[in-house]
Amino acid sequence: MMKRALLTTLLLLAAASAPAEDEPQWLGAGELDLAKYEGQVVLVDFWASWCKPCKESMPWLSAMQEKYGAQGLRIVAVNIDKKLDSALAMGDLLHEDLVLVHDPKGKLAGEYELQGMPSSYLYDRRGELAASHVGFLAAECDNREAELAKLIGSAEAEGHDDSE
Amino acid sequence: MMIRNSAGRKAVHALLALLAAGACGGCASLGVEPWERELLAAPGMEIDPDPLETALNEHIYFSKEASTGGLGTAGGGCGCN
């Protein structure tokens, strides 16, 4: 009887501590391996909850992931908040397919030698750096999307090329 | 006081060289990196973190101290401006 109660308690504790299925998974700064996404267009975006333009960019990034994810776009959102709680508070803005990385000590940020916030780096399907941007302006969204679409090779990019 | 001893002079030169090197390199790592600006970005770090309070303070100052000049028209300090 005692054993049964103990087992039940342990099972309950395990269930309570296990992450929920729909809870986003965060990678550590050392766990990010861009080689995993070879063959996909990868956008690495550095953001923080204290950075206003970063907050403004999140809905756009999520929209891009939603729109082009199936065609091979993978957005890696690297958060540099000291505490993950600050980033989690913005959970509603994060698309479920974003690759989420937490870099509280600025390890990746230092490696990329960021010049400002937010900063983003766009890699083509061969893994070569195609473009980088510092800051976020809503007025530039169309150009940024065209740049993405061109690399992805979507019909939308062809449309942009025709109009030029 | 003159330092006649050559060893003492060398020590002074070494000290001066050390100070000069320190002065040159001392400012090499000033500034915060873009990803370290969390505290600087806090609302309390703005030049005017609370515009409403600033407006009230300025109104009180204007009302009480205007006769001494500096903030526009003269007033009697009655607080009625």
Q: How confident is the model at residue B31 (pLDDT cuts 50, 70, 90)?
A: confident
CB atoms within 10 A of CB A73: 23
CB pair distance less than 8 Å for A50 and B37: yes
Tell whether omega for the bond before B49 is within 30 degrees of 0, i.e. cis.
Answer: no
**What's residue A161's pLDDT?**
47
Radius of gyration (C-alpha) of chain B in whole angstroms = 28
Tokens describing residue B1: 């006081």
> Any chain B CB within 8 A of the CB of A54?
no
Among chain A residues, CA nearest to B43: A50
pLDDT in tens, chain A (164 residues): 556 766 666 665 665 555 555 677 999 999 999 999 999 999 999 999 999 999 999 999 999 999 999 999 999 999 999 999 999 998 888 999 999 999 999 999 999 999 999 999 999 999 999 999 999 999 999 999 999 999 998 656 555 544 43
Task: List chain B residues with CB under 8 Å of A50.
Answer: 37-38, 41-42
CB pair distance less than 8 Å for B35 and A50: no
CB atoms within 10 A of CB B72: 9
Chains A and B: how many Cβ contacts under 8 Å?
29
Is the pLDDT at B74 greater than 70? The verdict is no
ipTM of the complex: 0.71
In 3D space, the residue among A82, A71, A77 whose CA is nearest the CA of residue A25 turns out to be A77
